[in-house]
Chain A
Amino acid sequence: MDNIDENVVRDAAMPTTPRVGVYICRCGGNISDVVDTEHVAEICRLIPGVAVSKVHTFMCSDPGQQTISDDIKQEKLDRVVVASCSPFLHELTFRGAVVRSKMNPYLYEQVNIREQCSWAHKHDPRGATAKAIQLISAAVGKVSRATPLAKIRLPNHRRALVVGGGPAGMKVAADLAACGISVVLVEQSDRLGGKLHTLNRLFPTGQAAIQLAAKMESQVLADPKIEILLNSKVTKVSGFIGNFEVGIHGNFGPSGKTTEIHTTVGVIVMATGFKPYVPREGEFNYKKHPTVLTTVDFNSLLATQNTEGRTLRYEGRSIGSIAFIHCVGSRQVDGVHTPGPDGRLNTYCSRVCCTTVLNQAMQVRQRFPETRVYDLHQDIRTYGRGHEEYYTDASRAGVVFFRYHGDEPPTVTNANGPTSPLRINVKDYLSWGEELELEVDMVVLAVGMTAGPCETLVDQLKLPRGEDGFLQEIHPKLRPVEISVNGVLLAGTSQAPMNIQETLAAAGAAAVKARAMFTTEEVELNPYVAQVDTHLCEGSGVCLTQCEYDGALAMVETQENEHSVRKAQVNPGLCVGCGACVAVCPTQAINVSGWRIDQYDAMVDGLVRDVEPAMV
């Protein structure tokens, strides 16, 4: 529930004897075909505290909701239980219904008798019916002891921290600033642009990377709402949505000396980017032979080689033939590839390398027509709009393709021959798995993307990483730029391998998401957080040892009867309501709001209550 009327919370007093309304939904037969809903309603009337017990074909329909509203007024109900589907589906619907009748939304309880009764036990109608009664009985017990709650409201700082000054970071900063949000943009190197500076001609437009970098940079530099901190790093971060305290270390001041500044931001956007895979020494002869390069090296070679000629030249040699090898550091196979220093195998596809290779191959064929190009791939995955054309064009330009299997990658050795210095052996599956031998002057390894550096933030904010090491979004489709830490957003390749187009799209989404978080003056959080009864707390500090969330719980000195005592104090912005502290408190001084221990006791009582003697 997003809009809670605070008056509703204040007006609702704890009743001496609660009046609970129980509403049982038939779900159009989904429930009532198995569960005897009429019988359930009849039995539920017998539960102490239940004032009304009714059945409706669709509780979620307007007439269904209206029944609840009417009863709250006419029957003077102060608690409501709906026994229907999963709360995931309709908890908000029914909370809305009770709020409209001026009742506190947290005095409402939902029981799932569809997934947990009628669907789970469709061959046992009697058992399903009995179980529904027991679950409702427990919910009545819980809700009877419920107290009115209100969403936690905390100040919302209208300022965003963007970590990383690459294309994603610049895009987020520019978009947020355009909405009037002030931005701190932290970049560890001495210039904005990130990996754009390592690229040459961008697919699918052919635009020069430095041109794009310059364009984005000028936009960011021109905006007074963006504070750019170069040569700097985030060293400390704590807090929660709307209230992150950030320490930034760097030499950005006018003095040029290393300083540290502190600032408060409402949102953090992770635009920390990726690291290109670096082949091991000897992997495809890398570092063993001077003309074995990576696509990153080759990009700078293409960028710096100004003179056009019949063949490409490198370190004084004429390069008559180049072989590109795909999937280096991507799609690695257990037992075939050596895991990296972190023990990880990069089993994923880096997605951008195929088009990168073909883009580079085409540049070679166009600029140096006598340099031949060979392409050794597992598949060609030119998935984006305008990317497949690179594949077609490369064929037309005479690039010869070979296909290997991931578990039998090609080998590169020194040929010691008079003409070409490198020999490639490849089991070519376009030639029915026959082994072919190529002699080439240069080998270019299409290196993939690996997770970028953002250890400080990951450690201090406890950001989750996926198995591949990249930051893990909450849901790949429904919440693609959010991470499980509220107020932290993902932009670009910190999350997964992406091309620039996708990176900027993700960054734009993150900016909009960040902007949406600033629509209110305050941040609203769910009230289900730990609460300390200061009368019972003896300051043992056991709770602190169990708390997993930095800053959620602290021991503070307070004055009590002119004595200084230590008491536990909860930071509601950081507490997630896990209840670990509740379990260990020796004096039961700590409880999670909405899920107090006495409510659990009442639920257990409700479960074992003998409400239906006839059926037992």
Chain B
Amino acid sequence: MAGKFNPDLHLDITGFGGKDIDMCMNCGTCTTICPMSEDSGGGFPRRVIRLIQTGQQSKLEETLAPWLCYYCGDCTTNCPRQANPAETMMASRRYLTARYDFTGLAKLFYKSAVAEILAIILVGLFVTGLFVAFHGPMVLNKVELNTFAPVHAVELGDWIMAAVLSFFLLAGAARMTWWTLGRKKMFRISPLIFIQQIPVFFVHLFTQKRWKKCGSHHSGIRWMKHLLLVSGYLSMLTLVLILLRWFQTDKVYPFYYPQRLWGYYATIALLYPTVDFMISRWRRKEPIHLFSEASDWIFLVMLFLTALTGIMVNIFRVGGLPMATYLIYVIHLSIAVPMLVVEVPFSKWSHIMYRPLSIYLYGVKQAAMRANRAADEPASEKVAA
């Protein structure tokens, strides 16, 4: 069946930060130069650009290609027409994030910085409001954070938020899975393959090792910085979600105690890369940081502020400043919560799910295609073999 040409899709992608898509003359230099293209089903990034140029929206939804690109920027550097293929891949990731989200909020936040900031402020005010209304007694002669904000109540809030956000994120993941594997019914996939490939998801979630195949421009260093950030993030997630009762204590442990050491590590692992990435985006030196959308800045700034206010809570608590501790704690949560609520399912944070998931799905697809090919071979050939 003929694909219907839709001239509006590329305008839509331009709204997500796509640059100079019109300039692409489909020479394929980007695809030839890309070290990831060959083991990504071929034809990328040109294929993605062409789908956008011709407005093949469903085909774009059905491809995993944008998620298999790690933005080394070699294609953009070598593009003879300055068509910026790397940024088009980035924009298509934003576009797909918005498409996976059934609420439409992601699209709203990506296309309007004002809406995103407004949403963050509203959620932040809501959190502040909760504390104003329901906080515990404020002991002022010594720091008693667990009296001001009882750990079981905070933990309950944590889990409610985690459940709600997981729901939206998993809904997005489900759409991604259905579109890329199920909707077109191209081949049968045995459930066994889904199980067999599960390790792939976790390997890539924790290591992002595919990134190391990416092209030039300090990919190795960038990968390590990003790995540091992920380790800090996952550490913090573990500490506040699973180990909160151990982590949020009024007792001041010695410096070398694991509770403190782990917290400091996570803080540094969050602060150093976020600052480094912000400087790089500001200076626009690396190809990946040439173009920054509002969503990129908001994500970095919120992550940085979360970590900064988090460590200040620790400093004031250890320093024995009760009022300052309570105040900064409220500010910390009024930043951390909206950061998570807005970013996790509806903005840039979601790539922590979509990246490893796409590699997992790609692995499933490849395995299923191999299995299908083997099954489709005529019996006579099997005998001959």
Residues in B neighbouring A430, C-beta threshold 8 A: 26, 50
Q: Are A372 and B54 in contact (CB under 8 A)?
A: no
Q: Are A321 and B7 in contact (CB under 8 A)?
A: yes
Q: Does B159 contact A (CB under 8 A)?
A: no
> Which chain B residue shows the least CB distance to A400?
B53
Known A-B contacts A428-B54, A431-B54; the reply to A436 vs B2 at CB < 8 A is yes
Q: Does A368 contact B (CB under 8 A)?
A: no
Interface size on A, residues (CB 8 A): 25
Known A-B contacts A321-B7, A428-B54, A430-B50; the reply to A435 vs B25 at CB < 8 A is no
Residues in B neighbouring A315, C-beta threshold 8 A: none
Residues in A neighbouring B25, C-beta threshold 8 A: 391, 395, 401
A459 CA to B180 CA, complexed, in Å: 68
Q: Does B242 contact A (CB under 8 A)?
A: no
Within 8 A of B (CB), among A398-429: 398-403, 425, 428
Q: Are B23 and A431 in contact (CB under 8 A)?
A: no
Cβ-defined partner of B5 (8 Å) among A391, A396, A403, A438: A438
Within 8 A of A (CB), among B165-199: none
Residues in B neighbouring A403, C-beta threshold 8 A: 26
A330 to chain B, nearest CB (A): 21
Q: Does A124 contact B (CB under 8 A)?
A: no
Residues in B neighbouring A391, C-beta threshold 8 A: 25
A284 CA to B51 CA, complexed, in Å: 26
B187 to chain A, nearest CB (A): 19
Q: Are B3 and A436 in contact (CB under 8 A)?
A: yes
A430 CA to B50 CA, complexed, in Å: 7
Known A-B contacts A436-B2, A437-B3, A438-B5; the reply to A431 vs B50 at CB < 8 A is yes
Within 8 A of B (CB), among A197-211: none
> Tally of A-B residue pairs with Cβ under 8 A?
52
Within 8 A of A (CB), among B1-52: 1-5, 7, 22-26, 43, 47, 50-51
Q: Does B142 contact A (CB under 8 A)?
A: no
A100-135 near B? 1/0 per residue, CB < 8 Å: 000000000000000000000000000000000000
Q: Does A300 contact B (CB under 8 A)?
A: no
Residues in B neighbouring A374, C-beta threshold 8 A: 5, 7
A396 CA to B53 CA, complexed, in Å: 13
Q: Are B54 and A432 in contact (CB under 8 A)?
A: no
A321 CA to B56 CA, complexed, in Å: 18
Q: Are A437 and B43 in contact (CB under 8 A)?
A: no
A372 CA to B53 CA, complexed, in Å: 13
Q: Does A434 contact B (CB under 8 A)?
A: yes
> Which chain A residue shows the least CB distance to B47?
A432
Q: Does A484 contact B (CB under 8 A)?
A: no
Within 8 A of B (CB), among A429-474: 430-432, 434-439
Known A-B contacts A398-B22, A400-B53, A401-B26; the reply to A437 vs B5 at CB < 8 A is yes
Residues in B neighbouring A397, C-beta threshold 8 A: 22
Residues in A neighbouring B1, C-beta threshold 8 A: 435
Known A-B contacts A428-B54, A436-B54; the reply to A395 vs B23 at CB < 8 A is yes
Q: Are B43 and A434 in contact (CB under 8 A)?
A: no
B58 to chain A, nearest CB (A): 13
Residues in B neighbouring A425, C-beta threshold 8 A: 2
Q: Does A392 contact B (CB under 8 A)?
A: yes
Q: Does B81 contact A (CB under 8 A)?
A: yes
> Which chain B residue shows the least CB distance to A437?
B2
Q: Are A392 and B54 in contact (CB under 8 A)?
A: no
Give the interface centre of A392, A395, A397 by most chain B CB atoms within 10 Å.
Answer: A395
B45 to chain A, nearest CB (A): 14
Residues in B neighbouring A434, C-beta threshold 8 A: 3
A399 CA to B3 CA, complexed, in Å: 19
Q: Are A436 and B7 in contact (CB under 8 A)?
A: no
A481 CA to B23 CA, complexed, in Å: 40
B55-85 near A? 1/0 per residue, CB < 8 Å: 0100000000000000000000000010000
Q: Are A372 and B7 in contact (CB under 8 A)?
A: yes
Cβ-defined partner of A435 (8 Å) among B2, B7, B47: B2
A200 to chain B, nearest CB (A): 24
> Which chain B residue shows the least CB distance to A323?
B5
Known A-B contacts A392-B81, A435-B2, A437-B2; the reply to A400 vs B26 at CB < 8 A is no
> Which chain A residue shows the least CB distance to B83?
A395
A602 CA to B23 CA, complexed, in Å: 75
> Which chain A residue shows the least CB distance to B26?
A430
A407 CA to B53 CA, complexed, in Å: 24
A404 to chain B, nearest CB (A): 13
A122 CA to B338 CA, complexed, in Å: 93
A428 CA to B3 CA, complexed, in Å: 10
> Which chain B residue shows the least CB distance to A427?
B2
Residues in B neighbouring A402, C-beta threshold 8 A: 54
Q: Are A395 and B26 in contact (CB under 8 A)?
A: no
> Which chain B residue shows the least CB distance to A430?
B26
A432 CA to B54 CA, complexed, in Å: 12
Give the interface centre of B2, B23, B26 by most chain A CB atoms within 10 Å.
Answer: B2
Residues in B neighbouring A436, C-beta threshold 8 A: 2-5, 54
Residues in B neighbouring A428, C-beta threshold 8 A: 54
B383 to chain A, nearest CB (A): 35
A253 to chain B, nearest CB (A): 57
A275 to chain B, nearest CB (A): 33
Cβ-defined partner of B81 (8 Å) among A372, A395, A399: A395
A403 CA to B43 CA, complexed, in Å: 17
B65 to chain A, nearest CB (A): 13
A358 to chain B, nearest CB (A): 12
A392 CA to B193 CA, complexed, in Å: 47
A400 CA to B24 CA, complexed, in Å: 10
A416 to chain B, nearest CB (A): 16
> Which chain B residue shows the least CB distance to A399?
B22
18 contacts between A and B (CB under 8 A): A321-B7, A391-B25, A395-B25, A395-B81, A400-B53, A403-B26, A428-B54, A431-B3, A431-B50, A431-B56, A432-B43, A434-B3, A435-B3, A436-B54, A437-B2, A437-B4, A438-B5, A439-B5
Knowing that A396-B22, A425-B2 are A-B contacts, what are 7 other residue pairs whose CB atoms are under 8 Å apart, sorted by A's residue number? Answer: A372-B7, A395-B23, A431-B50, A431-B56, A435-B1, A437-B3, A438-B5
